[in-house]
């Protein structure tokens, strides 16, 4: 266990900027990770939908259910032709 801790400390010490930035030197790494995650959620399709397609659909379903429950919209069953 102690050896793993030494390995982690060694790897962290390889990142430059320790004296000037301290722990903030890791911020650009996490910023880039966040950017990659955002790009994946926007552009990568799983099946036929992206993350934001699902989000918008769920949001509109929630708004519709809220309108029905507050009585602003009257739910009508489709009639057979």
Domains of the chain, by residue range, sit at: 6-74
pLDDT at 62 over 90: yes
Q: Report the alpha-carbon distance of residue 40 to residue 33 in Å, rounded.
A: 11
- The mean pLDDT value for 7-11 works out to 90
pLDDT of residue 68: 85
The per-residue pLDDT for range 13-42, each reduced to its tens digit, is: 888 888 898 889 999 999 999 999 999 999
Q: What is the mean pLDDT of the chain?
A: 86
Question: Which DSSP helix (H) or strand (E) runs through 33?
Answer: helix 27-43
pLDDT of residue 40: 93
pTM recorded for the entire structure: 0.58
CA of residue 1 relative to chain centroid, distance: 33
Q: How far is CA 18 from CA 3, 10, 13, in A?
A: 22, 13, 8
Picking from 16, 41, 39, the residue whose alpha carbon sits closest to that of residue 29 is 16
58 bridge partner residues: none
């Amino acid at each position: 266990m102690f050896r793993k801790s030494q390995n982690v400390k060694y790897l962290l010490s390889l990142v430059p900027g320790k004296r000037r930035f301290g722990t903030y030197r890791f911020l650009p790494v996490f910023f880039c990770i966040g950017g990659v995650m955002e790009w994946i959620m926007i552009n990568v399709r799983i099946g036929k939908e992206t993350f934001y397609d699902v989000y918008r659909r769920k949001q509109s379903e929630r708004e519709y259910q809220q309108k029905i429950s507050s009585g602003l919209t009257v739910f009508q069953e489709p009639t057979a032709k």
